[in-house]
Amino acid sequence: MPAMSDLKPAILAAGSLFMLAVLYLLLRDEAEEENGAVADKDPKSLLKEVLTQLLDVEQRAKRVVEELVREQLSGKEVSIAEAYQRVEACDLVDPLEKQGLSIQEFEAMVAEQQNDPWVMESMVRLSGQHPADMKPGGADLDVAKILAMKEFALVELEKLVASFLSEPDVESKDFKAATVALKALVHAKVEKAHGVAADEVETAAVMKQEELIRNPDFVGILKRQQTVMQQLMSKLMAAPKDVGGDVD
């Protein structure tokens, strides 16, 4: 199992809700104080509980993204405001944040259980790199095509983020719900423009990850994507928000 820091390039390539949550935690200037929930539970039990909840949240996020993409491909216009409202209604609470776990604490718990097959399989699924979850069509995409579609997706993301940040009361929005809504809109735009499902692009990026991270154009795309996500986060995290909710 690679260290979480080693997955940073894959975070932006894979684009799962969990990876977006990890990105959020890595970018945040100050980690939140531990709320005491960790001390009350056995670390192994807590880890399995968190992983189970993360997998559930990830699946619910995928369903709402797929639904929004299907609607847009069928001709329906979906605004960023509508997409955000529909994602927010799914109550995609981040279990790490809810339990008061920093990404460093979570990584340490995973490292301690690295011989547990279920834990390792769960982490691979959350990273978007499990063979069963990979879209086979992505295997035929070469690096040039991946870069072209990643660049296109990034430009569309920059436009959508600028539009989203101009909306009234944007500071009250949830960062993770916003990222999932943006993902759904960008995925639809990629597929409309290139005739390739965004999931296939993500699969191809993961499969060619080692080649891509040595490519200066891809590194430039990652840096620009990180910048736009930082802009989104800084606006939406201007004031602390109650995690609340439940993932069950």
Whether pLDDT at 10 is above 50: no
Whether pLDDT at 45 is above 80: yes
pLDDT of residue 85: 93
List pLDDT tens digits, range 67-115: 999 999 999 999 999 999 999 998 887 787 778 777 788 888 888 888 8
pLDDT band at 53 (very low <50, low <70, confident <90, very high): confident
Of the listed ranges 7-16, 58-67, 173-182, 224-233, the least confidently predicted one is 7-16
pLDDT of residue 156: 95
Nearest to 8 by CA among 142, 20, 31: 20
Neighbours of 7 (CB within 10 A): 22
In the chain, which residue ranges form alpha helices assigned H by DSSP?
A: 8-14, 17-27, 43-73, 80-88, 95-98, 103-112, 117-126, 143-165, 175-194, 198-207, 209-212, 216-236
pLDDT band at 246 (very low <50, low <70, confident <90, very high): very low
Location of structure tokens 């959508």: 160
What are the C-alpha distances in Å from 220 to residues 91, 137, 151, 214, 224?
A: 33, 25, 10, 11, 6
Angle at 197 between CA 231 and CA 87, to 5 degrees: 50
In contact, 199 and 207? CB cutoff 8 Å? no
pLDDT of residue 37: 47
pLDDT of residue 135: 59
Which pTM value belongs to this model?
0.76
Whether pLDDT at 38 is above 70: no
pLDDT of residue 57: 85
Mean pLDDT of 59-72: 92
List pLDDT tens digits, range 107-163: 888 888 888 999 888 888 777 665 566 556 556 789 999 999 999 999 999 999 999
The full set of domain ranges for the chain reads 4-28+41-236
pLDDT of residue 71: 96
List pLDDT tens digits, range 197-225: 888 888 888 788 889 888 999 989 988 98
Identify which has the larger pLDDT, 9 or 147. 147
